Amino acid sequence: MNAITAIFDIGKTNKKCIVFDSQWSVIYKEQQEFDEILDDEGFPCEDLSTLQQWIFNQLDTLLWELKIKVTHLNFSTYGASWVHLDAQGERVGYLYNYLKPVDEEVQHQFYTLYGPEAEFTAHTGSPNSGMLNSGMQLYWLKHKRPDLFKHIQTSVHFPQYLSSLFTKQHLSDFTSIGCHTALWDYTKKKYHHWVEQEQLTSKLPAITSSETTYSIHYMGVPLTVGTGMHDSSAALYPYLKMATRPFLLLSTGTWIVVLNPFTSSGALKTANPSLFYMQPNGTAVQAVRVFLGKEYEEQLEKIASHFGVTKEELNSIGFQSKYTPETLTQPVFQWIHLDKHPELMHTKWDALPHPEVAVHTLVFALTSLLAKQIREEIQLEGIEEFYIEGGFSKNTVFLTYLSHFFPEVTLYKTDTAVGSALGAAMVLGATENNAEELRQKFNRKPFHSVLKA
């Protein structure tokens, strides 16, 4: 029987149900958005009850109404999020939002005990990011919400919790543990000593690979169910299966996340303040995360307003060869979200006589910042290819300047809107992963820069 795989790909905003056939073609896709609810302190958070009901309803629709013979099921979700359970397996508290502020007093206390901060970051691959370091949530609960914490018997990462609704197995997986949680010591390949010191290990389920599966029956239908994956690691998985040479993946959107799955063990000890993720088997993935897409969009709005044009017109501007890097080296833009130029109190509009110049100048400056951070924080030895997915993969100005900063590599632009879901499907091992078919599926095309011609 051919494998039919259903994936629930849960983002902060969009919740998707995507079904693949045995050739990894999408045969069904449903997308939903849910209003957030307020947690017990009045901060917005995921409406987990509504989400769970939607997941069960969607699966029922697939099986009984649409008669799709689903054989495999898995989950990819955003990270840095826990579901806490009591001794009876009932939820305790909320799925707290990773944007929820953490008391400065709590963070100061934490780094006083387990720092210094720079050393802690180097070991855990987790720059200080508040609740985005999901381990900090456990520390916060223990020290600021002891009334709630005492009822927690098990804390389960979000993707593994959704899986457990079907398998009844409470597990941790490497991709969730490894996504800037501040829990894992990459140098020792185990939980950081602070986790044991705070007596949290008893609340953390056994660790397994994301490739682990369970055979269950759902309403009489046999299903192979995965343990769930962190979405960034899931998005990386198909590239690992189709690439023939070492590469970096640049996932571009509101954030640009750069992933190096070929990080050597030496880089773990010598890298500049590094962010790390993990592959399903526990292998470290060196990363850089930059708020570049958000900066680009907001600066584009300012350019459009200044020149009286639309953002659509600006986005349609392709690379013009007269704007070589040598002509665009001076700081012009006052950044909104990125590091500020101390000498710039506002954007130098007199240096931007028309929209075409402004767009090229903006993209060159942003690409220069990204390239600098990649060079400083990512190990590039042996890297021969960059894969670029997401919005910037269609931006020839960005691709041209990126090629300028990295002349030693080949850029490949890819086209897929289901990368995380596809990775979560492939990891189940339901179908042999043919590299050439995957390259075609991703519409993998080399980018030829005119600057290299």
Q: Is residue 251 part of a domain?
A: yes
Within 17-80, where are the H helices?
A: 48-60
Quote the percentage of the chain above a pLDDT of 70: 96
Average pLDDT for 359-383: 94
- Contact between residue 81 and residue 11 where contact means Cβ atoms under 8 Å apart: no
Q: Do 85 and 157 have their domain in common? A: yes
Whole-prediction pTM value? 0.86
Q: Is residue 180 part of a domain?
A: yes
pLDDT at 269 over 60: no
String of b and e for 355-383 (b: at least 16 CB within 10 Å)?
bbbbbbbbbbbbbbbbeebbeebbbbeeb
Q: Is residue 334 part of a domain?
A: yes
Q: What pLDDT band is residue 264 in, cutting at 50, 70 and 90?
A: low
CA distance 194 to 117: 13
CA distance 271 to 186: 12
Q: What pLDDT band is residue 272 in, cutting at 50, 70 and 90?
A: low
Residue ranges making up the domain that contains 51: 5-227
- What is the reported pLDDT for 273? 55
- What is the reported pLDDT for 415? 74
**Residue 209 exposed, middle or buried by CB count within 10 Å (0-12, 13-18, 19+):** middle
Query: Tokens for 276?
Result: 């790390």
Q: pLDDT tens digit string along 77-93? A: 999 999 999 999 999 99
Q: Is residue 266 part of a domain?
A: yes
Quote the percentage of the chain above a pLDDT of 90: 72
CA distance 191 to 87: 23
CA distance 389 to 445: 11
Q: How many domains does the chain have?
A: 2
Q: What is the mean pLDDT of the chain?
A: 91
Q: Which amino acid is at 242?
A: M
For residue 139, what is the DSSP state?
H
Helix (H, G, I), strand (E, B) or coil at 295: helix
- What is the reported pLDDT for 352? 94
- What is the reported pLDDT for 417? 67
Q: Is the peptide bond before 159 cis (omega within 30 degrees of 0)?
A: no
Q: Is residue 248 part of a domain?
A: yes
Q: Which of 347, 351, 227, 319 is nearest to 280 (CA)?
A: 227
Q: Do 116 and 165 have their domain in common? A: yes
CA distance 287 to 435: 24
Q: pLDDT tens digit string along 13-44? A: 889 999 999 888 899 999 999 999 999 999 99
Q: Is residue 413 part of a domain?
A: yes
Most confident stretch, 137-141, 343-347, 393-397, 448-452: 137-141
* Residues contacting residue 39 through CB under 8 Å, at least 6 positions apart: 45, 93, 94, 96, 97, 100
- What is the reported pLDDT for 438? 74
- CATH code, domain with 179: 3.30.420.40
The strand pair at 72-77 and 5-10 is best described as parallel
